[in-house]
Amino acid sequence: MSISTSDFKNGMTIDLDDGLFQISEFQHVKPGKGGAFVRTTLRNVRTGAVIERTFRAGEKMERAVIDKREMQYLYSDSSEFVFMDSETYEQLQVDRQQLGNVADYLVEGNVAVLQMYGSEIVGTELPASVVLTVSETEPGIQGDRVSGARKAATMETGVVVQVPLFVETGERLKVDTRTGDYIERANE
């Protein structure tokens, strides 16, 4: 679908010669002399790199339609994660590298939103926090309650999270998927 610079909106994805880009910011500029132009800040959907690009007013380009599909994570084998579409029950195998650090927070049964461009996965969205079980950490020492002190804990997915000293192996914790930080013990 062809669009013009006058159709720009924040969050829109466009297909340029050098890749797929999401519009982070845009500004229409009409100088005193010369033609109007549009100054944009674009984020490469595949690599995450941010660039600035200027377009002539009215310039045409292709809009990329990104399909967001809610998928349930079923299981993984050595290098692939298997998801099931929540609507069609179709299964999709995804290479771990396509998921990036999202794989660190996926537990069987969790739901993720996969952003698809055709059959290519260009992004993944998780809830802001997930509940993970501590698979390994040093035992807490009785009376060791230094305020703000932390220790490393390996979670069931293999990701290492800095947790308070009182956390024990086997506990379920709420972890922020954006930063990888410990939030609190899970009350389940």
Q: Report domain extents, the chain.
A: 2-63, 67-125, 129-185
Give, in order, the Cα–Cα distances in Å from 93 to each of 67, 86, 100, 117, 157: 17, 15, 15, 16, 18
Q: Residue 178's pLDDT band (boundaries 50, 70, 90)?
A: confident
2-63 and 129-185 have identical folds: no
pLDDT of 145 higher than 70 = no
CATH number of 129-185: 2.40.50.140
CATH number of 2-63: 2.30.30.30
pLDDT of 144 higher than 60 = no
CATH number of 67-125: 2.40.50.140
Note the pTM of the prediction, 2 decimals.
Answer: 0.70
Q: 32-76: per-residue pLDDT in tens?
A: 888 899 999 999 887 788 999 999 988 999 998 888 889 999 988
Torsion of CA 127, 133, 137, 141, to 10 degrees: 100
